[in-house]
Amino acid sequence: MRSAFAAFADPVTRAAWGTPSDTAAFFYEEVDFRVGGRDAFRCGDKANPQYRGVTTYLDIATNGRIVSSEVADLARARLLISLSTAAFAPASEGTKLVVTVQATALVGDDMIRGAEFGHRASLDNIVAATKE
């Protein structure tokens, strides 16, 4: 069983559970998991991962929390800006994970629905990944 915090900290593992579906692509072009570090990624349909994003780590407390901001772009147009907190706490059967995301879509509600779908699917995937 892999710890939930370790599944966030390791970019290979994070990319595996971060891909929300079999038809989607998600991969990192740059990774730097530390306070002040940033990850650059691409995502979207497997045939065309057209969205680009950058995650910046604002606070990391090992096995406690990760606070980050994220921007998502398409062809140099800013689509979404978010602030996320992942809080980790010991639980009787592993780790309790609470993820809070505040997102602002700059192009309409479809971006919010897409981000929500991606986050929910990814969280379902991390549950499976940390049980193995």
- Please tell me the total count of domains within the chain: 1
Q: What is the pLDDT of residues 57-80, one digit of tens each?
A: 999 999 999 999 999 999 989 999
Residue 101 lies in a domain: yes
Q: What angle do CA 106, 38, 66 make, to 5 degrees?
A: 85
- CATH code of residue 69: 3.30.530.20
Range of the domain at 121: 4-127
Residue 80 lies in a domain: yes
Residue 132 lies in a domain: no
User: What is the C-alpha to C-alpha distance for residues 104 and 108, in angstroms, rounded to an integer?
Assistant: 9
Residue 53 lies in a domain: yes
Residue 49 lies in a domain: yes
Residue 98 lies in a domain: yes
User: What is the pLDDT confidence band of residue 1, given thresholds at 50, 70 and 90?
Assistant: very low
Q: What is the pLDDT of residues 88-127, one digit of tens each?
A: 999 888 889 999 999 999 998 889 998 898 888 888 888 8
Report yes or no: 24 and 46 within 8 Å, Cβ to Cβ.
Answer: yes
